């Protein structure tokens, strides 16, 4: 099992509809290939965690990397994992712009600021720490196996 994390910059302002469109179009493929993960977005940036078999993660990332909706793709990690972190959903989308201002400010204080929102980190451990923080404040279903 593998986990890949990347960060990218959107070519257009990201709104909830943008995330919904992407996830809706990805749902079937992700299900078929047993891809799980998380798509986090601010109004300007994406950060995606993709988990699955090597071939599947590799193939979907190659497709995503060519997608013209985003650019400046920065690969954060592509590593072997013992087990998935995101077992209870397929690919979940979360828009930081939907958080209340207090939570967004807390994340900005901790992780830094970029284009008036949270700066998505470029270190895998910091990404997972951010996911843990978001998990706590959002009361998401269990994400650790």
Ligand X SMILES: Cc1cc2nc3c(=O)[nH]c(=O)nc-3n(C[C@H](O)[C@H](O)[C@H](O)COP(=O)(O)O)c2cc1C
Q: Is 26 in a helix, a strand, or coil?
A: helix
Task: Kindly state whether residue 105 participates in binding ligand X, applying the rule CB under 6 A.
Answer: no
Min CB(109)–ligand X separation in Å: 26
Length of the chain: 145
With CB under 6 A as the contact rule, the residue among 5, 39, 47, 118 that binds ligand X is 39
Task: Kindly state whether residue 115 participates in binding ligand X, applying the rule CB under 6 A.
Answer: no
Residues 3-22 that bind ligand X (CB under 6 A): 22
Residue 117 to residue 104: CA distance in whole angstroms:
7
Binding site for ligand X (CB under 6 A): 22, 25-26, 29-30, 39, 46, 48, 60, 63-64, 67, 69-70, 91
């Amino acid at each position: 099992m593998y986990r890949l994390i990347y960060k990218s910059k959107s070519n257009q302002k990201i709104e909830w509809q943008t995330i919904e469109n992407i996830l809706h179009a990805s749902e079937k493929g992700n299900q078929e290939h047993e891809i799980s993960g998380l798509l986090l977005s601010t109004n300007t940036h994406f950060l995606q965690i993709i988990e699955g078999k090597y071939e599947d993660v590799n193939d979907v990332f190659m497709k995503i990397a060519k997608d013209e909706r985003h650019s400046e793709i920065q690969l954060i990690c592509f590593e072997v994992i013992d087990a998935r972190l995101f077992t209870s959903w397929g690919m979940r989308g979360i828009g930081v712009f939907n958080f209340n201002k207090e939570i967004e400010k807390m994340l900005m204080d901790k992780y830094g600021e970029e284009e008036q929102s949270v700066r998505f980190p470029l270190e895998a451990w910091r990404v997972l720490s951010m996911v843990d923080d978001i998990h706590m404040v959002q009361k998401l279903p269990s994400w650790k196996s």
